[in-house]
C-alpha cells in the first residue's frame, strides 16, 4: 500500500501531464485536418454534351417582324467525339422560330460550336418551344434550351367621320350605244328607279342628263339626249329610260372622256347643253360601257381637266360600270379611283342594284367608302360604329373592307345618313425594329 505522502508526490507530474495534453489539443498544428476539396470528375470516355444558355428569351415583337439571331453554345465535355446530327424545334408555335444549326458537325473534347435561333411572331400570343439538339451523347441523346417570345399587341388606331351630302348635283350619264350594249342598257334602265330614289329621298336639287360615247355621229358628239331631268320632271324614271334607249347602232369607237369634255365645254355648253353645268353644284359623271376609252387620252389627263371644272376638286366624282374593269377598262377604273368614284362590272348583272346604289349615294355626296390612314392588321378586331351603334361586318346592311383602296365600305341600310357621325377603330401593326 502506498502512503499518502507518495500519492501527493505524484500530483505535480499528473498535473503536468494533464496540462501538456490540454496544451497539445489546443495547438493549431495539432488540429484534425479539414475536409479536402472534391476532386474534379474524371472526363468520361464517352461524348458528353453541354449547352448554354438554358433559355433564349426573345421578348415581345410586332407581328411578322424578325428578331436578331441569338446563339446557343454547344460544348463536348467528354473524351469521345460528339456527333451532333440535327437541331429542330418541338412544341406549339415552332413555326414562329427559325434555326441555323449547320448540322451535322463533330466536336472533340473541349471543342464548341454555335447554333443560331431567331423569332418571328405570327400572332398576338405567347410562344414557348424546345430546341432539340440530337447527338450521340449516351445519356442525353436529345437535349437543348427553351426558346420563348411573344407577339406584341398592335396599336389601336381610331378614325372618325361625319356623313355629309351635297345640296345640289349635276349628274351626266355617258352611255355606250354601240351594237354590243343593248342587253346591258336594259339592265341599267330596270334598276334606275332605285338610283334616282336616293336623290328623291334626300330632297336634292339635281339635274341629270344623258350623252353617248359616240363622237362620230354629229347627232350625238356630246349633245344631251333630250332635256335634262330635274325634280320638276313629271316622270323622271320614264324620261331617263327613254333617253338611254338609243338603240345599238352607235360608233364602235367609244370615247367617253372626249364625249364628257365636249358636253361640258363650249360650244355645246352655251348652246344645246346650256344650263346643265351649274357653278354651285357638285358634278358626277357615270360611264356605262363594255369597252374602255379607246382614244389615246390618258386617265390622268382627263381627271386633271375634269376636276378643274370646280374650284373644289372634291365636288367631282367619276364612276364607271364597265366590263373587266381592271383588265380591259383600266382608264375608266383609274379615273374612278382618282376621284373617289364607284366601279362595277357590266358583265355581273346580278351586282347592278348594289353598284347603282353606291353610285347614286356617291353622286349625291354621301360617302359609302371611307379611306383609312393605315392598313388594319386584324379585321376581326376592327370596330365600326355609327352614332354609337355597332355596324356588323357584312355585305348585307353592314360594312366590308376594300383591300385595294384600304377603305371601309358601307352597304345597304348601314350607309350613314346625312349628318350622322361614325368611328372606325382598328389595330395597326407596329413597325419592325
Question: Average of pLDDT values for 377-384?
Answer: 92
Residue 280, Ramachandran bin (φ over 0: left; ψ between -120 and 50: alpha; else beta): alpha
Same domain, 361 and 255: yes
Domain boundary among the residues 114, 130, 152 is at 152
- Answer whether 146's CB lies under 8 Å from 131's CB: yes
Same domain, 97 and 236: no
- Answer whether 279's CB lies under 8 Å from 317's CB: no
Same domain, 218 and 244: yes
Same domain, 146 and 170: no
Q: Quickly list DSSP for 203-251.
A: T-EEEEEEEESB-SSTTSTT--SSSPB-TTSS-HHHHHHHHH---S-S-
Residue at 290 is within a domain? yes
At 403, the pLDDT band (50, 70, 90 cuts) reads very high
Over the chain, what is the mean pLDDT? 86
3-state SS class at 271? coil
Same domain, 299 and 194: yes
Same domain, 295 and 317: yes
210-239 residue pLDDT tens: 999 999 999 899 999 999 999 999 999 889
Count structural domains, the chain. Answer: 2
Residue at 3 is within a domain? no
Same domain, 206 and 252: yes
Residue at 203 is within a domain? yes
Cα–Cα distance, 196 to 69 (Å, whole number): 62
Lowest mean pLDDT among 2-6, 203-207, 241-245, 348-352: 2-6
Residue 28, pLDDT above cutoff 50: no
Dihedral angle, C-alpha 222, 223, 227, 230, nearest 10 °: 20
Q: Per the structure block, which three cell numbers stand in for 81?
A: 467525339
Rounded to 10 deg, the angle between the 236-244 and 182-202 helix axes is 150
At 389, the pLDDT band (50, 70, 90 cuts) reads very high
Same domain, 74 and 215: no
Closest CA to 178 of 288, 270, 316: 288
Domain boundary among the residues 114, 131, 152 is at 152
Same domain, 249 and 111: no
Residue at 72 is within a domain? yes
Q: What is the pLDDT of residue 323?
A: 76
Cα–Cα distance, 126 to 59 (Å, whole number): 10
Residue at 17 is within a domain? no
Residue at 91 is within a domain? yes
* Strand partners for 392: none
Question: The domain spanning residue 248 has which CATH number?
Answer: 3.40.50.410
- pTM value is 0.59
Q: What is the pLDDT of residue 36?
A: 67
At 20, the pLDDT band (50, 70, 90 cuts) reads very low
Q: What is the pLDDT of residue 345?
A: 81
Closest CA to 89 of 131, 32, 145: 131
- Answer whether 245's CB lies under 8 Å from 173's CB: no
Q: What is the pLDDT of residue 248?
A: 66
Same domain, 171 and 148: no
Please identify which residue in the block is written with the cell numbers 336616293. Answer: 198
Same domain, 232 and 337: yes
Angle (CA) 236 342 311, round 5° = 85
Q: How many other β-carbons are positioned within 10 Å of the β-carbon of residue 135?
A: 26
More confident residue, 80 or 26: 80
Same domain, 214 and 264: yes
Question: Average of pLDDT values for 136-160?
Answer: 92
Q: What is the pLDDT of residue 416?
A: 92
Domain boundary among the residues 366, 391, 417 is at 366
Q: Number of helices and strands (H, E) in the chain?
A: 7, 22
Residue at 145 is within a domain? yes
Residue at 430 is within a domain? no
269-306 residue pLDDT tens: 999 999 999 999 999 999 988 888 988 899 999 999 99
Q: What is the pLDDT of residue 260?
A: 97
Instruction: Judge if the upstream peptide bond of residue 104 is cis by omega within 30 degrees of 0.
Output: yes
Lowest mean pLDDT among 107-111, 196-200, 378-382, 385-389: 196-200
Question: The domain spanning residue 75 has which CATH number?
Answer: 2.60.40.10
Q: Domain residues for 356?
A: 165-366
Cα–Cα distance, 228 to 243 (Å, whole number): 10
Closest CA to 306 of 331, 327, 330, 274: 331
Amino acid at each position: 500500500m502506498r502512503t499518502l505522502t507518495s500519492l501527493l508526490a505524484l500530483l505535480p507530474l499528473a498535473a503536468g501531464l494533464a496540462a501538456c495534453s490540454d496544451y497539445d489539443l489546443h495547438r493549431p498544428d495539432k488540429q484534425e485536418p479539414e475536409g479536402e476539396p472534391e476532386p474534379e470528375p474524371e472526363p468520361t470516355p464517352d461524348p458528353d454534351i453541354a449547352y448554354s444558355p438554358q433559355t433564349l428569351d426573345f421578348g415581345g415583337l410586332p407581328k411578322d417582324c424578325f428578331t436578331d439571331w441569338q446563339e446557343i453554345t454547344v460544348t463536348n465535355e467528354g473524351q469521345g467525339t460528339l456527333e451532333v446530327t440535327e437541331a429542330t424545334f418541338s412544341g406549339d408555335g415552332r413555326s414562329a422560330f427559325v434555326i441555323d444549326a449547320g448540322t451535322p458537325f463533330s466536336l472533340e473534347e473541349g471543342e464548341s460550336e454555335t447554333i443560331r435561333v431567331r423569332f418571328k411572331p405570327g400572332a398576338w400570343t405567347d410562344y414557348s418551344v424546345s430546341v432539340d439538339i440530337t447527338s450521340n451523347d449516351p445519356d442525353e441523346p436529345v437535349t437543348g434550351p427553351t426558346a420563348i417570345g411573344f407577339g406584341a399587341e398592335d396599336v389601336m388606331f381610331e378614325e372618325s367621320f361625319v356623313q355629309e351630302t351635297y345640296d345640289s348635283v349635276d349628274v351626266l350619264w355617258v352611255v355606250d350605244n354601240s351594237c354590243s350594249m343593248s342587253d346591258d342598257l336594259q339592265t341599267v334602265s330596270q334598276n334606275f328607279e332605285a338610283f334616282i330614289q336616293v336623290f328623291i329621298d334626300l330632297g336634292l336639287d339635281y339635274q341629270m342628263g344623258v350623252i353617248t360615247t359616240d363622237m362620230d355621229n354629229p347627232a350625238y358628239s356630246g349633245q344631251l339626249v333630250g332635256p335634262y331631268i330635274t325634280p320638276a320632271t313629271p316622270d323622271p324614271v320614264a324620261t331617263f329610260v327613254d333617253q338611254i334607249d338609243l338603240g345599238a347602232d352607235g360608233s364602235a369607237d367609244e370615247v367617253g372622256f372626249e364625249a364628257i369634255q365636249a358636253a361640258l365645254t363650249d360650244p355645246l355648253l352655251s348652246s344645246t347643253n346650256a344650263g346643265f353645268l351649274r357653278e354651285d353644284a357638285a358634278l358626277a359623271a357615270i360611264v356605262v360601257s363594255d369597252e374602255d376609252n379607246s382614244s389615246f387620252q390618258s386617265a390622268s389627263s382627263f381627271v386633271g381637266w375634269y376636276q378643274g371644272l370646280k374650284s373644289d376638286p372634291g365636288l367631282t366624282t367619276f364612276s364607271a360600270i364597265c366590263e373587266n374593269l381592271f383588265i380591259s377598262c383600266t382608264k375608266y377604273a383609274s379615273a374612278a379611283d382618282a376621284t373617289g368614284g364607284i366601279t362595277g362590272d357590266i358583265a355581273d348583272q346580278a351586282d347592278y342594284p348594289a353598284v347603282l346604289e353606291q353610285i347614286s349615294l356617291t353622286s349625291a355626296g354621301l360617302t359609302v367608302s371611307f379611306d383609312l390612314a393605315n392598313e388594319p392588321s386584324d379585321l376581326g378586331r376592327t370596330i365600326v360604329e355609327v352614332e354609337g351603334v355597332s355596324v356588323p361586318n357584312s355585305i348585307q346592311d353592314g360594312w366590308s373592307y376594300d383591300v385595294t383602296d384600304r377603305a371601309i365600305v358601307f352597304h345597304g341600310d348601314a350607309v350613314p345618313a346625312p349628318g350622322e357621325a361614325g368611328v372606325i377603330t382598328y389595330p395597326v401593326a407596329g413597325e419592325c425594329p
